[in-house]
Chains A and B, each alone.
Chain A
Amino acid sequence: MTNDPTAKSDAPDLVRPYVITRGRGHPTREGLDLVSLVIALPGDESPHILDPESTRLLALCRGGILSVAEVAAHLKLPIGVVKVLLSDLMDTGLVATRRPIPTAELPKTQLLQEVLDGLARL
């Protein structure tokens, strides 16, 4: 909204989060967390009149999968607000989310298993 970052950081937000979520703090969907991955679904959003924030969110996710935390950082909105927006977009079918793949153990053992199996076949 500004070209001058110092002005931005100093001034309070013009559009407050409760206006963006229409007063809702609870997302319509459970299970979203910081590391849930957000995927923009192919489809036309034109039948839906979206708020600028939702439009930006969609645009962001069109570029690839992002986590909820990353989306919030990009939009500079509180995580909770992003969750509300996301669940709205999920309700309209414009966005899907997925639990993150657990990073530490599971892929490693799977991978190892596959490598082992592959090697075993040799």
Chain B
Amino acid sequence: MNFVQDPALWYGVAGTCAAAVYVARSRTTVRNLRERNRLLAEDVRMRDDEIDNVVRVLLPALVETGERLKGSLLLHDELRATPYAQNIETVVEMFTTAVEDARDRADHSAKNALKAAMRTLQALAGEQQLAISEMQNNYVDAQLLQDLLAIDHMNSQFGRRAQVIAALCGGWTGRQRAAAPLYDVMRGAKGRIRDYLRVEIRMQSNVAVIGRAVEPVALAVAELLDNAASYSPPHTTVEINFQTVPNGVCVMVDDAGVGMHEEARQSAARYLGATEPVGITRLGHPPQFGFPVIGMLAAQYGFTVSVDTRSPYGGMRAVLMLPSELLTTAVDTEPAPVPAQRRVARVPRAAAGEVRPAAPATTTPVADEGTAALDGELPQRRRRAPLPVDRTHQPAPTDASDRSDAETAGLMGAFLRGTRSGRVPDTDDKGQENR
């Protein structure tokens, strides 16, 4: 029997070959599978990273800032354009919308609540101010007046705080006023801050602010002054100057402080240039109302405020630009006896063609401010002619005041006639009586 013819051998050979082929193939398969496995593991790791990033970084950032995330949401670019990446984007987007909605709702209800609360406080501050005014008018004692002035000042500050919050919440900025001289608006603003005695208004102006802008401008300037006074040493002054420009008037508030650091300046500029209402819930802790409310009032009433210049005194210079639309010529209802030289002291506002370094507005006192006080209900009386100081004024002052020269002459004539007619027949009687 031939060995070769043994079928068992052939079976064995065939089996071996098959086994070899099988082993070779399964090796390839295993290698492929391992590779695939590695890729899959890598993919899973990337996805884990991504979801981890979403949970630990992106969403907390969203919650923290409340602002839409910028830049790529993915850590691994390989996943870009996969359904997985799209889903992550969808999740973040939905979360963003939800956060924004919640914040808007919170903001809205916070604003409404604050607005209502502030309205009550504003009304109370107003009432209190009227009561204080009445007391100031009723009592003449100097010490009492001194105390009332201090209370009045505190009440004004209190009113301003309420007004600022109300204005920020889109509420009532205060009573509608009649047009008021710019100088008075500045003094009104000055009186609303704690350190008002440090504020000096360096010049007077012959322009007035139109009625609807009086309160907003006063409020915005008060905030600028408060800021200037708080960030400058207590012994320095805060100055207000006016500068006429071609399309309006600039109010400059200078302090001698240390100025603002870059970050604060940028934040202020952002608020001052804001065109949308500011979220009340994003003003920090404690909330900073100043620049946000100035920005809001500026946008609402059409003036501009900038804080990007340095003051010549080293601190900050805030510039509030009042456009011509918000200005009018000075409210001029002076009483008759105002000396003529003060009337010529005005400089036409439109005449300034360019920004001049020197003061364009008049620095001489202008008798515009509040001269309309003579239209009231109180009895008022003015003498016809000045009397010399040193001459003794014989009759009771209240009697002589209403007489014109003609009346006085008539009275004197009557007196003379009377004495003359009395002298003629009764000389002796009188003489005897006298003796």
B214 touches A73 (CB 8 A): no
Q: B36-44, B347-355, B361-369: which one contacts chain A?
A: B361-369
* Interchain CA distance A14-B150 in the complex, whole Å: 16
In chain A, positions 60-84 with a C-beta closer than 8 Å to chain B are 60, 62-67, 70, 73-76, 78-81, 83
A23 in complex: contacting residue of B188, B197, B381, CB < 8 Å:
B197
Contacts of A24 in B (CB 8 A): 146, 149
- Judge if A86 is at the interface, Cβ distance under 8 Å: no
A25 touches B142 (CB 8 A): yes
**In the complex, what residue of chain B is closest to A73 when comparing beta carbons?**
B378
A15 to B: closest C-beta gap in Å: 5
Given contacts A63-B383, A80-B140, A81-B145, contact A17 B396 (CB under 8 A): no
B residues touching A (Cβ–Cβ < 8 Å)? 126, 129-130, 133, 136-137, 139-150, 152-153, 156, 175-181, 183-185, 187-188, 190-191, 196-197, 204, 214, 218, 331, 333-339, 341-342, 363-387, 389, 392-398, 401, 423, 427, 430-431, 434-435
**Can you show 16 pairs from A to B with CB atoms below 8 A apart?**
A1-B180, A2-B178, A4-B178, A25-B148, A49-B204, A52-B366, A55-B369, A59-B334, A59-B335, A59-B337, A65-B383, A74-B374, A80-B136, A101-B394, A103-B398, A120-B431
A66 touches B382 (CB 8 A): yes
A residues touching B (Cβ–Cβ < 8 Å)? 1-5, 7-8, 10-27, 34, 37, 39-41, 45-46, 49-53, 55-56, 59-60, 62-67, 70, 73-76, 78-81, 83, 96, 98, 100-101, 103, 107, 110-111, 116, 119-120, 122
B185 touches A101 (CB 8 A): no
* Interchain CA distance A79-B183 in the complex, whole Å: 23
B367 touches A52 (CB 8 A): yes
B218 touches A14 (CB 8 A): yes
Given contacts A27-B142, A63-B336, A120-B434, contact A19 B191 (CB under 8 A): yes
B396 to A: closest C-beta gap in Å: 4
A17 touches B136 (CB 8 A): yes
* Interchain CA distance A114-B305 in the complex, whole Å: 72
B431 in complex: contacting residue of A12, A80, A107, A119, CB < 8 Å:
A119
List of 9 A-B pairs having minimum Cβ-Cβ separation, nearest first:
A64-B383, A25-B146, A52-B369, A2-B178, A80-B145, A63-B337, A25-B145, A103-B396, A18-B149
Contacts of B149 in A (CB 8 A): 17-18, 21, 23-25
B178 touches A49 (CB 8 A): no
B397 in complex: contacting residue of A25, A67, A75, CB < 8 Å:
A67
Contacts of A11 in B (CB 8 A): 175-178
A1 touches B386 (CB 8 A): no
Contacts of A122 in B (CB 8 A): 423, 427, 431
B373 touches A56 (CB 8 A): yes
**In the complex, what residue of chain A is closest to B433 when comparing beta carbons?**
A119
Given contacts A1-B184, A18-B191, A119-B430, contact A60 B382 (CB under 8 A): yes
